[in-house]
């Protein structure tokens, strides 16, 4: 999702959802300190008291800029117009100017022996935002205008398909709804112009390779126009990062994880190495099943899979093609969408149910303002940014979600995820403004997803969605695990490669001329995915993924997919659960909730290993819980893939 205001200290990106995270002294700050100590006469160095006064003034300025910027960004996301784009660009520019000023002023205290808490705050300010503007006249305004424009271009994205496409029975059925009086109403485009929501529905449900190729390529016609602005933005934020002492913006991003920037790159490769064997078995199995559906010409067994065949516009999750890969010899699982429809759920009831999960663990109910001010369903009368997101507009109680919720099992999971952000935001509301954020950005994304892992059949019985005699037996475990793996396990390499691409853009490994080739090289290397046809010379396919023009760092999602399983295992161990990890639900367990809340209350006030240890007992992120969770599926996949040629040519184009 787009993380808008998870920390007030992320002042430079008030409208752009790219907050920095707390860290201990980086290698760069240590070098700065040594240099300053060696060159600054002791009698002229700032004092601890001056540092304290600086931090107090910085906090006041941050709160004020945040207050204005948060509301401008909320209005812009809910009313996407030329004027609201301008408002949010202005607010973002003010935040960027403040961030630049505070970053440079904070350097004065490099050589000062400060208490640990003050040093942590100073280092956070020195790093500024993930998108620092250069410290020169006009740079912050230019950067803010570009970033708001990229975001707006994506939000308004549309493309055309031949009108005869919408005369097809399978397409017409997708956009036809049954009304209360029994009549059917066509809700699809009349002129062949479709938006992302409509295109996403087509990608999820259609099984015609040629039509899916048209839709997939059509959406990517919105992004070439972004390329020049994106290139200029990279130049600006690299310049800003270098002024802060980093080689490039990628190094700045990686420095936000309580470890050296290069060490963090090694750490994520280590985590990927833990889970890659499971992904490769899943890839091999799914490719084999798609081959049986589409044949060798469409799905060759020795090549990466066509990206348009996996049921998702970005092939980042594959759950929509589960019916094509459903284990033939496994009992069926649970159709949550059908259960929601059968029980008369609407969008509001879905959100209420998600809230109930958190309150069952002892968390306080959401405030009335949440229900009054959130956007839960898509308005009919205006453009909104539909990408689901969680907001905290005052760093206290004014939490909200923005989501074009539909009554589906996928959105049922998503509302739990988004409320996880809100409950985390409220948990650390008493922290100083500098620490109102997750322990690292992966923590924030993992909270709600950890709750989502407790949405088991047994949980659905407890809330009245499923009859007790409808709970699948152990013979359905493979189907249940396969369905979730096609979303969660399939996502892992995508979650990793998005920022790996940006790191290569930032450090110059990729030039504007090779942006697109580099994107597909990484997708092939990590995901085993390829485009359905050669891409045009002017293609800018990264821009067709929201988080690139929306400027939201993506490594948080990879880390979240590691951490959510680690959190889940720790919670189930604390609850005394005995049985397969995928059958555990901590719904109603207030003891787990109490310990979980204690971790969340820390915010980013301590290095993330401290927060992780407070809940899990370990100071290391660890992918082994994923392997435990999916152990029965791994055995099944290895059996099914026996005799198949797995893997792919990682240099394939």
The Cα-based distances of 145 to 82, 132, 136 in angstroms read 12, 14, 16
**What is the per-residue pLDDT across 477-508, written as a single tens digit (0 to 9) for each?**
999 899 999 999 999 999 999 999 999 999 99
**What is the per-residue pLDDT across 144-173, written as a single tens digit (0 to 9) for each?**
899 989 988 998 999 999 989 998 999 999
Contact 606, 443 (CB under 8 A): no
pLDDT at residue 652, as a whole number: 46
pLDDT at residue 128, as a whole number: 76
The response to whether 515 counts as a known ligand-binding position is: no
* Two structure tokens written together for 246: 């980093």
The response to whether 417 counts as a known ligand-binding position is: yes
CA distance 517 to 595: 46
pLDDT at residue 298, as a whole number: 97
Quick one: the chain helix, strand, coil %, rounded to 5?
A: 60, 5, 35
User: To 5 degrees, how large is the angle CA 594–CA 598–CA 600?
Assistant: 115
Q: What's the mean pLDDT when you consider all of the chain?
A: 89
pLDDT at residue 40, as a whole number: 47
pLDDT at residue 33, as a whole number: 42
* Two structure tokens written together for 387: 């990408």
**From 78-92, 192-206, 565-579, the region with the lowest mean pLDDT:** 78-92
**What is the per-residue pLDDT across 304-340, written as a single tens digit (0 to 9) for each?**
999 999 999 999 999 999 999 999 877 777 889 999 9
- pLDDT exceeds cutoff 70 at 39: no
Beta-carbon count within 10 A of 642 CB: 7
Q: Across the strands, what pairs with 158?
A: 195
pLDDT at residue 30, as a whole number: 35
CA 194 to chain centre: 25
Q: Which residue has the tokens 């049921």?
A: 311
Domains and CATH numbers, the chain: 11-154+225-259 (no CATH), 158-219 (no CATH), 265-333+483-544 (no CATH), 336-471+554-622 (1.10.1370.40)
Question: Catalytic amino acids?
Answer: 418, 547
**What is the per-residue pLDDT across 341-388, written as a single tens digit (0 to 9) for each?**
999 999 999 999 999 999 999 999 999 999 999 999 888 888 888 888
pLDDT confidence band for 25 (50 / 70 / 90): very low
Q: Which tops the pLDDT comparison, 515 or 81?
A: 515
- pLDDT exceeds cutoff 70 at 607: yes
Average pLDDT of 279-291? Answer: 98
pLDDT confidence band for 247 (50 / 70 / 90): very high
The response to whether 257 counts as a known ligand-binding position is: yes
Q: Three-state secondary structure along 464-498? A: CCCCHHHCCCHHHHHHHHHHHHHHHHHHHHHHHHH
- pLDDT exceeds cutoff 80 at 73: yes
Average pLDDT of 64-75? Answer: 89
pLDDT at residue 635, as a whole number: 97
Q: Across the strands, what pairs with 160?
A: 193
The DSSP string of 541-561 is GGGGSTTTTTT---HHHHHHH
Contact 284, 641 (CB under 8 A): yes
pLDDT at residue 80, as a whole number: 84
Which strand (E) or helix (H) includes residue 401?
A: strand 399-402
Contact 527, 296 (CB under 8 A): no
The Cα-based distances of 213 to 161, 198, 292, 443 in angstroms read 11, 15, 19, 36
CA distance 144 to 223: 19
Q: Give the rounded percent of residues in the chain with a pLDDT score beyond 70.
A: 93
Q: Across the strands, what pairs with 400?
A: 391
**From 271-280, 460-469, 608-617, the region with the lowest mean pLDDT:** 460-469
- pLDDT exceeds cutoff 70 at 15: no
pLDDT at residue 651, as a whole number: 64
pLDDT at residue 43, as a whole number: 52
Contact 20, 128 (CB under 8 A): yes
pLDDT confidence band for 559 (50 / 70 / 90): very high
Q: Which tops the pLDDT comparison, 242 or 45?
A: 242
Q: What is the pTM of this model?
A: 0.86
Q: Give the rounded percent of residues in the chain with a pLDDT score beyond 90.
A: 69
**What is the per-residue pLDDT across 75-105, written as a single tens digit (0 to 9) for each?**
888 888 888 888 888 888 888 888 888 988 9
Q: Three-state secondary structure along 490-534? A: HHHHHHHHHHHHHHHHHCCCCCHHHHHHHHHHHHHHHHCEECCCC
What lies within 8 Å, CB to CB, of 397 at 6+ separation is 367, 369, 426, 429
389 φ/ψ angles, rounded to the nearest 5 degrees = -155, 155
CA distance 520 to 498: 11
């Amino acid at each position: 999702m787009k993380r808008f205001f998870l920390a007030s200290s992320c002042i430079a990106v008030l409208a752009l959802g790219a907050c920095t995270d707390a860290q201990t002294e980086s290698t760069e700050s240590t070098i700065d300190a040594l240099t300053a100590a060696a060159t600054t006469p002791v009698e002229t160095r700032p004092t601890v008291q001056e540092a304290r006064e600086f931090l107090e003034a910085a906090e006041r300025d941050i709160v004020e800029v945040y207050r204005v910027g948060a509301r401008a960004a909320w209005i812009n996301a809910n009313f996407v117009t030329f004027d609201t784009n301008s408002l949010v660009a202005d607010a973002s520019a003010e935040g960027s100017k403040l961030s630049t000023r505070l970053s440079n002023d904070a350097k004065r205290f490099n050589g000062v022996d400060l208490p640990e808490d003050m040093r942590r705050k100073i280092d956070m300010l020195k790093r500024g935002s993930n998108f620092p503007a250069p410290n020169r006249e006009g740079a912050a305004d230019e950067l803010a205008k570009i970033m708001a424009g990229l975001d707006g271009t994506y939000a308004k994205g549309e493309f055309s398909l031949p009108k005869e496409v919408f005369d097809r029975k399978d397409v017409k059925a997708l956009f036809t709804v049954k009304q209360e009086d029994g009549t059917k109403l066509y809700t699809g485009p009349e002129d062949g112009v479709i938006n992302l929501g409509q295109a996403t529905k087509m990608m999820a449900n259609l099984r015609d390779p040629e039509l899916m190729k048209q839709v997939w390529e059509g959406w990517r016609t919105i992004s070439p126009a972004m390329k020049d602005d994106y290139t200029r933005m990279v130049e600006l934020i690299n310049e800003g990062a270098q002024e802060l002492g980093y080689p490039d913006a990628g190094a700045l991003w990686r420095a936000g994880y309580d470890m050296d920037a290069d060490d963090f790159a090694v750490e994520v490769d280590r985590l990927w190495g833990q889970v890659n064997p499971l992904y490769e078995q899943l890839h091999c199995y799914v490719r084999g099943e798609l081959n049986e559906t589409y044949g060798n010409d469409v799905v060759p067994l020795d090549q990466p899979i066509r990206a348009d065949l996996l049921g998702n516009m970005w092939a980042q999750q594959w759950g929509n093609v589960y019916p094509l890969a459903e284990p033939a010899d496994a009992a069926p699982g649970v159709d949550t969408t059908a259960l929601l429809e059968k029980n008369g759920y609407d969008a509001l009831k879905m959100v209420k149910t998600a809230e109930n999960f958190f309150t069952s663990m002892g968390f306080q109910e959401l405030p009335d303002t949440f229900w009054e001010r959130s956007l839960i369903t898509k308005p009919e009368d205006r453009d909104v940014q539909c990408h689901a997101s969680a907001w905290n507009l005052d760093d206290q109680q004014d939490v909200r979600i923005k989501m074009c919720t539909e009554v589906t099992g996928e959105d049922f999971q998503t509302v739990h995820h988004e409320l996880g952000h809100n409950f985390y935001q409220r948990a650390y509301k008493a922290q100083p403004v500098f620490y109102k954020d997750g322990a690292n950005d992966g923590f924030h994304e993992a909270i709600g997803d950890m709750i989502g892992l407790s949405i088991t059949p047994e949980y659905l019985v407890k809330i009245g969605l499923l009859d007790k005699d409808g709970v699948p037996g152990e013979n359905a475990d493979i189907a249940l695990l396969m369905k979730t793996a096609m979303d969660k396990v399939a996502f892992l390499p995508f979650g990793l490669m998005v920022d790996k691409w940006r790191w290569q853009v930032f450090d110059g490994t990729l030039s504007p001329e090779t942006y697109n080739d580099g994107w597909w090289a990484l997708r092939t290397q990590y995901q085993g995915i390829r485009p359905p046809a050669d891409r045009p010379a002017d293609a800018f396919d990264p821009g067709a993924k929201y988080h690139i023009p929306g400027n939201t760092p993506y490594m948080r999602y990879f880390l979240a997919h590691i951490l959510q399983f680690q959190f889940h295992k720790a919670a189930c161990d604390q609850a005394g659960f005995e049985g397969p990890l995928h059958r555990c639900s901590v719904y109603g367990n207030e003891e787990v909730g109490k310990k979980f809340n204690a971790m969340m209350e820390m915010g980013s006030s301590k290095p993330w290993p401290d927060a992780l240890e407070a809940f899990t007992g370990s100071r290391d992120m660890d992918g082994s819980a994923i392997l435990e969770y999916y152990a029965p599926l791994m055995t099944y996949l290895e059996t099914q893939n026996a005799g198949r040629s797995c893997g792919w040519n990682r240099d394939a184009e």
